[in-house]
Amino acid sequence: MNGFEKFGIDHLSASSINLWTNAPDVWVAKYLHGKSTPFGPAPLRGLAVEAAVVAALMGESDEASLNKAFTMFDRRWLIGTEESTKERDLIQPMFHIAMEQLRPYGAPEFSEGTDQEKITINANFGDWSIPIWGFLDLVFPQHGLVVDLKTTTRVPSVMSQDHQLQRAIYHRSKGNHTVKFLYVSARKAEWLEDGDPAVVLAQAKVQIARMEAFLRACADKHVAAEIVPCNPSSFYWRGAEPLRSEIFGL
């Protein structure tokens, strides 16, 4: 039995591999103890903009699409706080800039009954393997293009390592498509496609092997929490200090 089977983990994702790499303590809390850190207004703003963009590309009016985004945001985050107001105000300009870039491609295609396409690749290690799942934002088969939309307050000039892994997984699963990430702020947009997918996936495979070895060495989730380093100053723990104390005693 490999380490993943031992803990009932039947698949990985770019986000789980990246979390293991960047914050193994948060990974242990989430995937072994079933406890997640708070979901802030910035990620929710990103989901809201994406929902509005998809709706508009599929034929809804811009006004109706934006109303959908605002409703989605307002239902899940308290209106009126400084942080939430700042993020909510970014939805409309980000939507319009994203649409300027994406409208020429027409309507994307989705798997039946969904608004995303699920993809799977396998990480093979000889006598065992584990699937890596992903979900594609926008697929334009007529253009041979996969687009992942990223909203941000600061558009990067080079994709982060985390995003390069995400792109590499998409590229491996959709090898006959170009995979690009569209970064959108309230002021501008940038198309990026950084990283050699083969090199990025090889590096990820090393991290997956380390993850499996760690799990195999731990008797249970409590031992995992005793062994893994914990970083109390990590931004992941902001607003989740009681959870951190509960699991790690810090």
Q: CATH number of the domain that 216 lies in? A: 3.90.320
Identify which of 143, 144, 147 has the alpha carbon closest to the alpha carbon of residue 176: 144
Contact 2, 216 (CB under 8 A): yes
Taking the CA atoms of residue 62, residue 63, residue 64 and residue 65 in that order, the dihedral angle to the nearest 10 degrees is 40
Query: Which residues constitute the domain of residue 81?
Result: 41-105
Please tell me the total count of domains within the chain.
Answer: 2
Last residue of a domain, one of 105, 133, 152: 105
- What percent of the chain has a predicted confidence (pLDDT) above 70? 98
Query: Is residue 1 a part of any domain in this protein?
Result: no
Q: Are residues 68 and 121 in the same domain?
A: no
Give dist(CA 138, CA 229) in Å, integer: 37
pLDDT one-digit tens code per residue, 53-106: 999 999 999 999 999 999 999 998 866 678 889 999 999 999 999 999 999 999
Which residues have CB under 8 Å from 54's CB, separation 6+?
108, 115, 137, 138
In a domain, 2, yes or no: no
* 212 in the same domain as 153: yes
Q: Round the average pLDDT of the chain to a whole number and report it.
A: 95
What's the pLDDT score for residue 160? 98
Return d(Cα 242, Cα 126) in angstroms, integer: 41
Q: Within this chain, do residues 94 and 118 fall inside the same structural domain, yes or no?
A: no
